[in-house]
Amino acid sequence: MRPHFIHLRRYWYALSLLVILPGLVALFWHKAHDGRFLNWGIDFTGGSLIELRFNRAVELPEIRGVLARYGLEAAEVQQSGPADFIIRTRELTEEEGRTIIGDLDRQLGGATLLRNERVGAKIGSELAAKALTALFVGLILMGIYITVRFEFKQGVAAVVALFHDVLVTVGLLALFWIPVDSSFVPAILTVIGYSINDTIIIFDRIRENMRQIRKGETLEDVVNASLWQTLARSINTVLTVLFMLLALYFLGGSTLRHFILTMLIGIISGCYSSICNASPIWVDLKLRERRRPQARPARV
């Protein structure tokens, strides 16, 4: 016998809370100890980014040894190619940058400068504010679209499910202290778009089935049947996306990994919330509306 998604909705809610709560704890723990909710990259906090290509195979400890002489032990160093490295540090002056690049060139057998960028703290804070604005505007517009196409309660359910995806993604990034750079914004917005598309397809099937409801069939049964009818499509779609993301994660180089990892978390959460959160939340809202006592007519 197939499980009844709607009858099991409290378990889905509990599972969501089980994933979200540790992330929220991590967010506020980092804020209390590090002064920031997430491991913001230099795009948000300000700093310098240096990309070098060395003339020989270089190991990470060698680069860190040179950086340590300048008090940059905490700098983030990533290998982006066979002999290419990206160094993210606090904001360096032009003279400091030239000195460090020259030292790396001399000590490690020669290096070619590919990129040397500096992001000011003011620009970083503006980018963070714009990212949050884009996120909330996207959520509001999605809710309005669902309300116009379907109904207000489905719009509310869809926005709650999207907010769930954002909390899961951001929470896991905080929990594992994964660096967050400017690619975080397009990744989250892409996840929202993917998740809402899946939710719309399910809501559309529910609407079709509600027009053909049979005698004795409850709202929960109709929604459950709709979820089963769209389940194969949802799983097949998410699998094809995951296969491509995994290929990019392992073969696309280190510069893409944080973006791809954010996408992986969000796509899995989006598929789950579309099936196990959006429709069950709508059912709860509809049942609550039906249980609400009708207002008594005023006496003449």
pLDDT tens by residue, 190-210: 998 889 999 999 999 999 999
Tokens of 127: 């980018």
**Lowest-confidence pick of 74-83, 85-94, 158-167:** 74-83
pLDDT of residue 225: 94
Q: What is the mean pLDDT of residues 14-34?
A: 94
| Contact yes or no for 297/271 (Cβ under 8 A) | no
pTM of the predicted protein model: 0.81
Average pLDDT for 158-167:
94
Buried b (16+ CB within 10 A) or exposed e, 222-256: bbbbbbeebeeebeebbeebbeebeebbeeeeebb
Domains of the chain and CATH, by start: 9-36+123-289 (1.20.1640.10), 47-119 (3.30.70.3400)
What is the widest separation between alpha-carbon atoms in the chain? 97
Tell me how far apart the alpha carbons of residues 149 and 228 are, in angstroms, rounded to a whole number: 22
